[in-house]
Amino acid sequence: MDTKELLKKVRKIEIKTRRLSNHIFGGEYQSTFKGRGMTFSEVRQYQYGDDVRSIDWNVTARYQEPYVKVFEEERELTLMLLVDVSGSANFGTEQQLKRDTITEIAATLAFSALQNNDKVGLLLFSDEVELFITPKKGKSHVLRIIRELLEQKPKSPKTNLSAALEFMSRVLKKRAIVFVLSDFLDAGYNQAVQLAARKHDLTGIRLFDPMEAKLPAAGLLYMKDAETGSTKWVNTSSKSVRTAYALAHRKTADYFSGQFTRHGAGAISCATNESYVKKLLTYFKSRG
């Protein structure tokens, strides 16, 4: 797309998602994701009921009356968005592609973090790391992230979630809030999730199209795998074919939720014809 069209799309995404983050998600985000701990703020005179363990003995000795240390929560956090840009993200039979929904969710989360003065970073991945943007603060930085999400032109159509999580674990030295947005059409990422969840506050958001869950009885269809490029004729009139198709989707979904919840990470599944707003709010409230 040309520059004018890109800026128009960025603006459209900003207006929609910033409204959500300001009026819906801002407070939920802050209450869900806590700061890294308590940081020193000031000293004040001792008051009845104060914990004696907080007395600052140096200041107390200097002024010959008790003073206590006051601490406040260290609010600043880092939000890291890991976004799947493999070929399967370009599939959609409803109002928009999986890729479009993923972009909206990522932008909503980024503006929620911006509202709380947190840093935001982006990692785009296929079966390799396509792009890494170091976490920073500011509206211009968030808008750059949205532009990259809209302009994504991956080198590979395949998926390797493990490689993305392993890269993130190497480059992020401190604990971060990590959202992985993908259709999770991958396997064997158990160990990578385990290691990432041990270090970070990890959540997986699995996006899928309704037709990926249930194949319609539409006769003989010529189908192509968006990630491998392989093609074949599929007889969708066959009940056994539709059943096998549904079971394969269920297996992928169960593997995703099983691996994430098993290791203490969050797991959200959302179809493209469902409200991701309700899904996110339910998740935030369950953790609040």
pTM of the shown model: 0.84
Sign of CA dihedral 167, 283, 276, 217: positive
Query: Three-state SS for 226?
Result: coil
In which element (H, E) is residue 84 found?
A: strand 78-84
* Structural domain boundaries in the chain: 3-32+75-287, 37-74
**Residue holding tokens 């990578």?**
192
Tokens of 131: 């792009």
Return the closest-CA partner of residue 88 out of 222, 211, 242, 217. Answer: 211
* Burial class of residue 3 in the structure, from the number of CB atoms within 10 Å of its CB (0-12 exposed, 13-18 middle, 19+ buried): exposed
Strands of 126-210, DSSP E: 129-136, 177-182, 201-208
What is the β-pairing status of strands 119-125 and 129-136? antiparallel
> What is the per-residue pLDDT across 228-253, written as a single tens digit (0 to 9) for each?
999 999 999 999 999 999 999 999 99
**208 neighbors 269 (Cβ within 8 angstroms):** yes
> What is the per-residue pLDDT across 129-142, written as a single tens digit (0 to 9) for each?
999 999 999 999 99
When mean pLDDT is compared across 32-41, 52-61, 96-105, the lowest value belongs to 32-41
CA distances from 127 to 29, 94, 258 (A): 30, 26, 22
**Residue holding tokens 């976490």?**
135
> What is the per-residue pLDDT across 171-217, written as a single tens digit (0 to 9) for each?
998 899 999 999 999 999 999 999 999 999 999 999 999 999 999 99
With a cut of 90, say whether residue 170 has pLDDT above it: yes
Confidence grade of residue 59 (pLDDT, cut at 50, 70, 90): confident
Report the alpha-carbon distance of residue 205 to residue 276 in Å, rounded. 10
**Confidence (pLDDT) at 36:** 52
**133 neighbors 109 (Cβ within 8 angstroms):** no
Q: What are phi and psi of 272, to 5 degrees?
A: -70, -15
Fold adopted by 3-32+75-287: Rossmann fold (3.40.50)
Bigger pLDDT: 285 vs 260: 260
Q: CB under 8 Å, gap of 24 or more: what pairs does 229-238 form?
A: 229/157
